[in-house]
Each structure stands twice: as C-alpha cells, then as structure tokens.
C-alpha cells in the first residue's frame, strides 16, 4: 500500500494519470482465494513481503487523455455518507479530492469507462450530495452488468443486506446518468485507440479495456486479477468472483495475450499505481512494476482555479482521516 495519491506518465501519444481512491482492507488472506490451500497462500505472501492476517487492495483510477477526449476508468467507492465510506471506511472515497490535487476537474471528464458495476468501481459516479460527479460524461458499462445489477427483481431475491447493497448502490449510481449511459458489448470503441473487451466471469458484464497508441498497448484489466497470488496461481479464484470457473478462464486467456503481445497492464487493485508487465514463471506469471516511465507532463485539463503547482508529477499525502494503519478489518460487500 502506498500513500501516494496520484502520478502521471505517458503511453504512446496519450497522457495518463493514475489517481488513488484509497485502500480497501479485507480479511485474512487464506479466506480470499477459493481453491487455494492456506499454507501456499501464506508462503506467497511472505515471499512478497506481505502480511498474512489481512489483504489490502489499492484502488488505482486511470485517466487517459486520448487526443483530447478525457477518459476515466472506474470511480472508486465514492464519498456518499450512506454508501462508500460507511461500508468501506474513511480511508477510501478519496478519488475526487485526489483528481483535484492532480489538476483534473471532474467536469472535464468526457467518458467514464467502467470495468464492471461492483461498489468499488461504480459507487463513485455520484458526488457526496447525490448528484453526478462527472456531469459532462457519458458512462460506459457492460450491458450484462447493467442488466444484472440494476434489476430490482434480482435485488429482491437477495437476503444478505450487504449483497443487496451491491444492487441498490449500482442502480443509485448509474440511473442519474439517464440517456448518457452506454451499454457496451464486446468490441465497443470508447474513444480513439480505446476498445472494450468482454471478459465475463468476475461479473456478468466485466470489461477489460485495451488502450493503443503509437503501437503500444496498455491493458486496463479491472478485476480480472486482484492480487499477485492470482498471478502465481491463475487457476485459483478470488472470493468475490461471481462465476469462479469463467473468471479463471478469462484470467488465463488475458495473461497469455499480455505476455505474447508485450503489453503493459494497469491493475486496479495492485499496489499504487498498478502499472507493470507480466512474465511467465513456472506454471504461472510474475509481476514487474514499471518504473521510470513517469514523465513530467502538464495536463491541459487543469481544475479551475487550481494549478498543478509543482515540477514533480508525483504526489504523496496521507488521506484525511485515514485508518489505513488501524487493526479494524473491513469486509467489503464485493470487489
């Protein structure tokens, strides 16, 4: 987990900014990976210098300036008092503040491209007062996710109040965008060089996005993979995978494509900023964080009245009210 709040880099001809929404804290690692054995999970965690009593996932929101179209990928848990922070704790829900710190106004976002409609990806569509946080954006969501998570009949069938929260929260956040919602299928073109790839498994309408500029492709893989454990063991599932068998198959297919194509990854839940590449190792894969690509770039979409204000393109700040070091465990409804 990092205390950095945003960073900026270039991808081909595109300017990219990664903004943190703050960390999410899960329960013990051994409960998070169905199909695994606890000893194996703990060994991997220890080898990677990670604790075994809990799993912490970062939330890395990517903003791409694609030839003048500003595309935000996923939104974090949001800061509505009765949704995001009540469920996920005050250390999350930092995205809007960190966007402002990075010099990007929410008003400048042209497209919000969701990988899926789980809380930590779409509950930030609304501002704390319940109005659209991105008032000038269209919102791209997988058609199957929209159908599933906004179906009141499905919500009514759920008895667990935390799981029901997923449905009501998705409907609450998506519906205010009205006719600016785009229900995307496989191959949907988001903007110049940006294509949605259907990867159902973690959720019914999960989308991975490929961002190609000047012959380089960056893969925004959302919740295709939450943790390095699932690189070493792609055959294991994640506790919140909706269809675990399909999620495993998607994981293996996308990993292979990334390695074969020499592509870079933006991983939503990996340690900030979640930028890296894959290499094969044994029967699995290993993660190589990409360093040194961070460039000093001044965004043309600065927030009004605010300057980026420094000659650095990185920023560190402990989020207000952070409880990241608290021993209190938080079990999100789904990730």
Q: Which residues bind Zn ion (CB under 5 A)?
A: 120, 223, 335
* Residue ranges in the chain assigned as alpha helix (H): 38-47, 84-88, 95-101, 119-122, 143-149, 152-157, 161-174, 229-232, 244-260
Q: CB of residue 270 vs Zn ion: minimum separation in angstroms?
A: 11
Q: CB of residue 86 vs Zn ion: minimum separation in angstroms?
A: 18
Q: Which is nearer to Zn ion, 42 or 120 (CB)?
A: 120
Q: CB of residue 213 vs Zn ion: minimum separation in angstroms?
A: 26
Q: Which is nearer to Zn ion, 66 or 77 (CB)?
A: 77
For Zn ion, the nearest residue by Cβ is 335
22: left (phi over 0), alpha (psi -120 to 50) or beta: left
Q: CB of residue 53 vs Zn ion: minimum separation in angstroms?
A: 21
Q: Which of 268, 269, 266 is nearest to 278 (CA)?
A: 266
Q: Which is nearer to Zn ion, 230 or 335 (CB)?
A: 335
How far, CA to CA in Å, does 84 sit from each of 117, 151, 210, 306, 332? 14, 21, 28, 26, 10
Q: CB of residue 59 vs Zn ion: minimum separation in angstroms?
A: 7
Q: Which is nearer to Zn ion, 4 or 223 (CB)?
A: 223
> Rg of the chain over CA atoms, in angstroms?
18
Q: Which DSSP category does 82 fall into?
A: T
10 Å CB burial of residue 49 (0-12, 13-18, 19+) is exposed
Q: Which is nearer to Zn ion, 223 or 241 (CB)?
A: 223
Q: CB of residue 63 vs Zn ion: minimum separation in angstroms?
A: 18
76: left (phi over 0), alpha (psi -120 to 50) or beta: left
Q: Which is nearer to Zn ion, 8 or 116 (CB)?
A: 116
In the beta sheet, which residues pair with residue 15? 10, 65
Q: Is the dihedral angle over the CA atoms 105, 296, 298, 196 positive or is it negative?
A: negative
């Amino acid at each position: 987990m990092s205390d950095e709040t945003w960073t900026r880099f270039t991808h081909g001809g595109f300017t990219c900014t990664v903004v943190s929404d703050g960390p999410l804290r899960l329960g013990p690692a051994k409960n998070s990976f169905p199909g695994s054995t606890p000893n194996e999970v703990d060994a991997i965690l220890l080898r990677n210098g990670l604790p075994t009593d809990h799993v912490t996932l970062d939330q890395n929101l990517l903003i791409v300036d694609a030839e003048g179209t500003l595309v935000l990928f996923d939104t974090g848990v949001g800061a509505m008092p009765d949704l995001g922070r009540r469920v996920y704790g005050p250390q999350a829900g930092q995205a809007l503040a960190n966007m402002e710190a990075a010099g990007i106004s929410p008003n400048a976002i042209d497209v919000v491209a969701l990988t899926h409609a789980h809380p930590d990806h779409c509950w930030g569509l609304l501002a704390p007062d319940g109005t659209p946080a991105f008032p000038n954006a269209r919102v791209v969501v997988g058609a199957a996710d929209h159908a599933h998570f906004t179906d009141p009949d499905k919500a009514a069938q759920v008895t667990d109040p935390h799981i029901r929260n997923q449905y009501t929260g998705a409907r609450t956040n998506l519906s205010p965008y009205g006719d600016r919602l785009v229900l995307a299928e496989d191959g949907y073109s988001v903007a110049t060089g940006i294509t949605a790839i259907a990867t159902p498994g973690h959720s019914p309408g999960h989308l991975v996005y490929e961002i190609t500029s000047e012959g380089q492709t960056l893969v925004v893989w959302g919740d295709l993979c939450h943790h390095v454990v699932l690189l070493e063991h792609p055959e294991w599932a994640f506790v919140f995978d909706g269809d675990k068998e399909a999620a495993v198959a998607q994981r293996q297919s996308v990993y292979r494509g990334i390695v074969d194509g020499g592509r870079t990854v933006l991983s939503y839940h990996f340690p900030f900023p979640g930028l890296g590449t894959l290499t094969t190792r044994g029967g699995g894969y290993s993660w190589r964080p990409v360093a040194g690509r961070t460039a000093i770039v001044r965004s043309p979409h600065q927030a009004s009245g605010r300057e980026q204000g420094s000659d650095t393109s990185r920023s560190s700040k402990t989020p207000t009210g952070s409880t990241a070091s608290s021993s209190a465990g938080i079990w999100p409804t789904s990730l």
